Structure formats: structure tokens, C-alpha cells
Structure 1
């Protein structure tokens, strides 16, 4: 395992000058900065790039200007918190992607809890359009900006918890087991999600970013902003517009991707977008 560049990571978060012992205030500041500055993205799967679960590797990618999906983001963030003195636990979790899917703890997500100042918090920077600040690990309904979330005991895993997303969220709910696990238990699922033709990360290019007032998402060629005023949806029709949104809205300049790869990525994303449009037209 390589050594984590803590300073580079904190610089990406805009918090390179933090000092003092771990505190709930610091935890909240780190969480807010992470979801605002580091986009949720599975471009490695779109590009056929091999990525591991080593938190230092994920942190280096983040410091270099990229994002990642849950294993990368929560894996790196957990390690960063531990280096700053926080008590962190990783949990086997399952995101219910569609309402018709049965809930379960299938390992397609790694959830985090943090013990700070005698309280337990649900911490998650890897949900894409999830919560902006940590949630207290107790049953209740929690409003953050224009969104409302719920935490309840899980009915699919004894002793576990269920996070229910706002109705406008990209998924309905996430369950997680209470027992801590090591990050390497997700290795097999990570490989499948990154490489299988059946994986949503391989089939669909998705970028998401949360801020205090709302959520930005780019699914294929559809750019959407959701906030208190409603939804604004724009279809990006050119490669220039698509990469401009990737950079300006999601903070991903993609300097690590060459021109040929960039053209190939856009061509694949646009082709799938057009195919879906054609399929919808046929169904009408």
C-alpha cells in the first residue's frame, strides 16, 4: 500500500490550512468540501481503466483532479479521516438502484460511520447526489437544503440501518450492516461494477455533484440541475459542450485522458444517448 498524500488531498478540498484535534465541526467541513469539490464519476469504467481499492491510490487520483465512485471516494475519505484522528468504520451496504429492485446489502456500496464527540454519524461522500453534511445515526427525518432524507432501522439486515433518499434522488434507498468490514471485501464487486457489460457504470456515463443548494447530474448527454426552484434539463449535443460541462460543472478537466480517448469517450456516450432516444421514439 502506498503512502497517502494527505496535504495534496486536503488542498483539493480547499482545506489545506486545517489544524487542531478531530471535531464534529471539522468532520462537517470536510464532508461539505468533499461532495462540493470532488465529483462522483465512473469514467474509469467507460474508459476501460484499471483502478484498485487502495485508498492512497484513490486519494492520489482525487488530488490530481479526478473523482470516482463509492469505493474510491469513501475509501479515500475514510483513510483521510483516520489520518486526521477520527474513528471510522466501513460497512457493507447496498444501494437499491430502482424502486422495483429488492433492497439488500449486496456490497455494491461501502458506507461509513464516524464516532465524533460521543455521537455516531452516517458519513458518505460516495452517493453522488446524497446528503451534503453527515447525518446523526439515529432514526429521524433530516432536511438539507431542498431535500429531505430519512434514517430508520433496516428491515433486511438485523442491527443495520436504512437511508431513504429524497423522492427526487437518483436511487430510492440504501441499507447497510452495522458490523465494520475491511475495504478489501468489496474487491470482487468492484471488479464486476468496473468491467461487466451488465454494470450500469459500463453501460451509462454518469457524473453527479452535490452542493448546499442542490444537485448537478450529467447522465449520458443530459445535464440536469435540481434545486429549490425545480429542475433545469439541457441536452448536450456537441463534444465541446459536453466537455465544457464536465469541466465547469463537475470540476473534471480530465488532463489524464488523451485527445484520442476523449474523442472515443464522447462518441460512445453520444451513440448510446441517440440509441436511447430512438428506442423511446419507437415505444411511443
Structure 2
């Protein structure tokens, strides 16, 4: 359970100084701040320094000025919301990449929040701080289409889980959608083997891919290797980061990721590895 001190430090990292009782407006405020100021990243995996996904360590990671990927972010976010009095549930989920089929394989940790509305009816909301390229605001767990700024989302029944649901991402997004199982997961033990695969297996999609993402109201930012992509609506501007100082500056200023748990030597080693992977990617692309 997150302490009051940890909760307040977490909210401070999000730029939120006031503690409010659970409400939809406050949930929206926290969610928007989280996906904007706490990026999704594979930094520690690429660096060979993966962090365990238990919620205590994940919360400390964020409080210390760092970030993580889905298991860290949604695990810690769920504990933050619980400490604020929200009714939070974890769910098994699976992301559908471009060109592949829908799946629920526990390679994503889903979150829902139940709130009582003015009519004293319980409403459930899809919240997610762990996808990087993700809706900026919570979405109602109610079948339909939703607009957020320039982006269009749908919530539909899942085709791979009875009584489950599916978040269909914007057509210009980096993946097709996410499917969620309806059963509530009580702890993160289900996801530990998946984290081990993601963070240590030679077959992991992240082991050699330096990727950092965040969201804002009208677009997103991404660093993939040494390419910084600034998306505004459906328009994307790409910049190659050619020096370590430029790379670190964008990481810090755009993503609030200052690598505070990395020594100068470790930052140097990480930059050299990322630069090498980037040059290999350029050669393969040229070929």
C-alpha cells in the first residue's frame, strides 16, 4: 500500500499539489498529467538494467524521477489511484501490433476504475498510463466511438475474450488496438514471466530497440533510437539526434527523462549502444 508520503511525492512528480476526493474530473487531471510527464520507455531494457515490476519498486522508480513501461507504469498508477480512494481493477490484456491478430497474452497490464455518478450508478472507465501512444484521457467502458482532439477511438466487444472489451486505436496510431479480459487480477504474478521475457530474452522486441514515448492533448512525442518524432494531429516531424548532448537534452526537456539513476559513465555507454543500434538500422534500411 502506498504511504501518504509516497502518494504526495508521486503527485508532485505529476505537477499536482492538491489532494481531492475521487471524482471523474480529478481522475482526468491525474491521467492526463501521467501520460504527458511520465513516458513509456525501454531504456532500462536496452541498457541491461531492467527494474522489477512489483508496485513498490515501480512507485519508487517514478518518485525518483524515472519511468518504465506498461507493467511499471500501470502497476504504480493503479496503486496511486487506490491511495486516493479510487476503486481500481487490474486486467490481463494484449496489444495488437500492425499486421497481426488480436490477442490477450498478458503482455499488457490493463486498468479500469469504477466511479459512482450523480445518479448513484457505478460507471467503469478504461485508464492506461502504460501504452505510450495512448488516449490522453480515460475512456468510458461503454461501447461506442470517442473523439479526443484530432484522434478517434472506439470501444467494442473483444473478439478473443468472452465479456471482454477492446480499445480500437486511432487509425494513425502505432498499433491497432488492445483487448482486455474481464476477470480481475489480484496481483502481478501473472505478468512476471512476461516481464522477464521482455527485459532479458534475445527474442524480446525491446531488447535492441531504444524507444521512449509520451502523449499530450493534440499529439505525441517519440524517440526511436536516434530519431525524434513530433506528432501533431496526423502530421509528424522527424529529427535525427546526432550528438549525445542533443539526445540527452530532448530526453530531459521533452520526456522529463533525465536518467537520474544512471552515472555519467552509464549514460555514455547507453548513448554509444543506442548510436550503434541506430547506425545498424540505417545500414539495414539503406540495404
Q: Shared topology, TM-score over 0.5?
A: yes
**Aligned-pair CA distance for 1:2:** 7.9
**CA distance in structure 1 between the partners assigned to 2:172 and 2:207 by the alignment:** 24
1:79 maps to what in 2? Answer: 79
**Aligned-pair CA distance for 1:165:** 1.1
**CA distance in structure 2 between the partners assigned to 1:32 and 1:191 by the alignment:** 29
Say whether the 8 Å CA contact 1:149–1:164 is kept in structure 2: yes
1:279 maps to what in 2? Answer: 284
Q: Name the CA shift for 1:2/1:32 in 2 (closer, same or farther; >3 Å).
A: closer
| Residue 254 (1) aligns with residue 256 (2) | no
Q: Which string of whole-angstrom CA distances, capped at 9 and with x for unpartnered residues, describes residues 27-60 of structure 1? A: 1111011111111112111122242222121111
| Residue 44 (1) aligns with residue 44 (2) | yes
**CA distance in structure 1 between the partners assigned to 2:153 and 2:214 by the alignment:** 17
Q: Which string of whole-angstrom CA distances, capped at 9 and with x for unpartnered residues, describes residues 8-41 of structure 1? A: 111101112223x211111111101111111111
**Aligned-pair CA distance for 1:240:** 1.2
**CA distance in structure 1 between the partners assigned to 2:64 and 2:143 by the alignment:** 38
Equivalent runs, 1:71-150 vs 2, <5 Å: 71-97=71-97, 99-117=98-116, 118-150=122-154
1:196 maps to what in 2? Answer: 201
Q: Which string of whole-angstrom CA distances, capped at 9 and with x for unpartnered residues, describes residues 120-142 of structure 1? A: 10000101010111000011111
Aligned length: 280
Q: Which string of whole-angstrom CA distances, capped at 9 and with x for unpartnered residues, describes residues 202-249 of structure 1? A: 120100010112100001111001113611111111111111110111
**CA distance in structure 1 between the partners assigned to 2:48 and 2:58 by the alignment:** 16
Partner SS state of residue 193, structure 1:
helix
Say whether the 8 Å CA contact 2:211–2:225 is kept in structure 1: yes
TM-score normalised by length of structure 2: 0.94
1:230 maps to what in 2? Answer: 235
Q: Name the CA shift for 1:152/1:2 in 2 (closer, same or farther; >3 Å).
A: closer
**Aligned-pair CA distance for 1:100:** 2.2
Say whether the 8 Å CA contact 1:92–1:110 is kept in structure 2: yes
1:211 maps to what in 2? Answer: 216
**Aligned-pair CA distance for 1:7:** 1.2
Say whether the 8 Å CA contact 2:2–2:79 is kept in structure 1: no
Partner SS state of residue 101, structure 2:
coil
Say whether the 8 Å CA contact 1:2–1:57 is kept in structure 2: no
Say whether the 8 Å CA contact 1:67–1:73 is kept in structure 2: yes
2:119 maps to what in 1? Answer: none
**Aligned-pair CA distance for 1:72:** 0.4
Aligned-residue CA RMSD (Å): 1.4
Q: Which string of whole-angstrom CA distances, capped at 9 and with x for unpartnered residues, describes residues 143-196 of structure 1? A: 112211111001011111111111221211111101111222101101111111
Partner SS state of residue 15, structure 1:
coil
Equivalent runs, 1:145-164 vs 2, <5 Å: 145-164=149-168
Deviates more, 1:104-113 or 1:168-177: 168-177
